[in-house]
Amino acid sequence: MDSMKNDLIPLAMDEEIQGQAQIWKHIYGFAESLTLKCAIELGVPDILHKHGKPMTLSEIADKLTIPSPNMDRFHRIMRFLVHMKLFTVIDGPEMKYALTPASKLLVRAEEKNLVSFALIQLHADEMLPWHYLIAGIEGQTTPWLASHNGVPYYDRVGKDPEYYKLHNDAMTSHTSFVVSALVQGCAKEGVLDGVRSLVDVGGSTGVASKAITNAFPHVKCTVMDFAHVVEAVPKDPKVDFVAGDVFDCVPKADAVLMKSFLHGFDDDDSIKILNKCREAIPAKGGKLIIVEIVVDIDGTLEFARPRLCMDLELGMFGGKERTKDEWKNLLTKAETIR
Ligand SMILES: C[S@@+](CC[C@H](N)C(=O)[O-])C[C@H]1O[C@@H](n2cnc3c(N)ncnc32)[C@H](O)[C@@H]1O
Ligand SMILES: O=c1cc(-c2ccc(O)cc2)oc2c(O)c(O)ccc12
């Protein structure tokens, strides 16, 4: 009854204005993502970084690979990017543009950057499943499969060298942000004490394994991934690579590392994988190291929103990011179901 009454009461004017502003912001959320992609593809952050000091619009335009850019459109894109605080402007006889702390992360020459991660998320093939969220709710398929004629993600990526490189670069760049914390955490907690061998399941290009071997030379690391992944990785004297499917077998080792791996699977498959890992490590003293996002549903943490977005993203493929309780439940279930 109360809710019916509420329906009849008009919203206060400022509430309606705020509501409108919020909805408009969400309707045009895609404009922010895709204008950011445009800036990366044009190489504007790289141009500003290389120049080393603020530049006018025409100075930036001169460095674009486009022969005669439409300056009016380019200006409007730069104006929007300034509004997004990706660039800042310095007033003077002629306005100049400069990088901000955020857009420094879009410079390819920086060791830590988010360029390939942004480009893979905003790749047309990865955006398509977002139009198929309802197919995922209907439950017979995943949004990815519904939007890609039933072709699984890694089959699609594996057949397209450019797409495949982008995917690997994105995973590698994402990992480069967390490896130092991983290595520090392992050192502080003595996680790798007594560990002489480690298998990095779904370890891709081995960026985590290489960091572990460098920091803990007593640990011999082996990366296990699909054959097409392993075959494309340049050989490394410090890290071994083996081809395999986690559902078949995990090579024996003192420890198993899974980083950004279990999030690709639902609970039933994750339990199967956890059991394969248990078989691979010694019953006494064997270690399982899981490095994953923890979803914060209260939204109090700075990265709450991107983590919830990543959860939706993984949902496209049948996986999920998990809350602390979901991780606890999964690991408890895996302990009991063998
Ligand atoms: C999101 S990437 C994570 C890569 C790496 N661990 C990292 O954090 O950068 C997931 C990796 O798991 C691999 N993968 C997916 N399913 C697999 C399976 N069934 N067996 C082995 N590797 C698999 C993929 O090829 C991919 O390299
Ligand atoms: O099937 C997948 C897909 C992904 C994936 C694809 C594209 C992205 O931008 C992010 C993630 O990740 C997976 C994964 O990490 C895994 O362990 C298994 C399967 C998949």
- In the chain, what percentage of residues exceed pLDDT 90? 82
Contact between residue 72 and residue 79 where contact means Cβ atoms under 8 Å apart? no
Residue 1 has pLDDT above 50, yes or no: no
Q: Is 202 in the pocket of ligand 1 (CB under 6 A)?
A: yes
Contact between residue 229 and residue 204 where contact means Cβ atoms under 8 Å apart? yes
Q: Is 260 in the pocket of ligand 1 (CB under 6 A)?
A: yes
Q: How far is the CA of 147 from the centre of ligand 1 (A)?
A: 22
Ligand nearest to the CA of 117: 2
Q: What is the pTM of this model?
A: 0.91
Q: Residue 239: beta bridge partners?
A: 221
Residue 337 has pLDDT above 80, yes or no: no
For ligand 2, residues with CB inside 6 Å are 120-121, 126, 153, 202, 260-261, 263-264, 313, 317, 319
Which range among 100-104, 167-171, 183-187, 201-205 shows the weakest confidence by mean pLDDT?
167-171
Among 245, 260, 276, which Cα is nearest to 320's? 260
Query: What number is the average pLDDT over the span 253-278?
Result: 97
Overall residue count recorded for the chain in this entry: 338
* pLDDT given at position 228: 84
Q: Residue 56: beta bridge partners?
A: 96
Query: What number is the average pLDDT over the span 23-35?
Result: 97
Atom of ligand 1 nearest to the CA of 207: 9
Q: How far is the CA of 134 from the centre of ligand 2 (A)?
A: 20
Cite the active site residues: 263
Residue-wise pLDDT for 292-304, tens only, equals 999 988 767 788 9
Whose Cα sits closest to atom 17 in ligand 2?
261
Q: How many CB atoms lie within 10 A of CB 234?
A: 7
